[in-house]
Structure 1
Amino acid sequence: MEIRRGTLSTETFYEQVGGEPTFRRLVRRFYAGVAEDPILRPMYPEEDLGPAEERLVLFLMQYWGGPTTYSEERGHPRLRMRHAPFTVNIAAHDAWLSHMREAVTELGLSPEHEQQLWDYLTYAAKSMINTPE
């Protein structure tokens, strides 16, 4: 049930956009692109992208106000540290955002929710760059 006081909703972004099913659709679509990407695929040593997909789903759900399963299972996200072993350059950044853009668009969120999500994703992608070329 949504509780409103004036125009403010107490629902989290996670709840407003449809909860776990929405984030699972987003990440499933994203990794479908990653699986075929010559720049990004080598960054995933597992033969099956399933574990990486699950980690991203859990992280995004927690970040946006959903269950805290990610931290319970993996501790603090430490995103930059976790990505440090990989060469994340502008090409990787652009490829990542390209696949994520397609995934976000396919969700069919309201313009406001889509912009809020996209703003975060572009910020996060930029902050992961660790190699100039």
Structure 2
Amino acid sequence: MSFRYYTATTLDGYLADDHDSLDWLLTQPLEEGGPMNYDDFYAGIGAAVMGYTTYRWLLDNELADGKPWPYEIPSFVFTHRTITPVADSITVIDGNPADHRDLLTEAAGGQDVWVVGGGDLAAQFAEAGMLDDMIVSIAPVTLG
């Protein structure tokens, strides 16, 4: 079991633009079944963790037209805010990742935990000694 940060970045090191938009990423051509493909990665994931900004982005962009929560696996949102989860599979937690290691490991059921979204939460996992893999796709785009 590993804690894995699977993300993308621009040539100049950004994930989102000044308006927290991922439009640049969502327009990139992808080779189905190619190297680093999402389906192969996701097949080994048992739980997902994200911060509030990623959670909010998913609500505003992926669920805006009535789609259901995109993850059937247990999902954890690290935030100090009071939020109401939009799916039964979502748990809101606060604090240091190390405080929740056992909970996340158990929820993943022997599979990996995906650290989703921006670098802040990934850095917290790394600081806690809980970031085993960083899988970064670099797109030929600049935002800065």
Q: Which has the higher contact order (CA 8 A, sep 6+)?
A: 2
More helix by percentage: 1
User: Shorter chain as normaliser: what TM range?
Assistant: under 0.3
Q: TM-score, normalised on structure 1? A: 0.26
More strand by percentage: 2
Q: TM-score, normalised on structure 2? A: 0.25
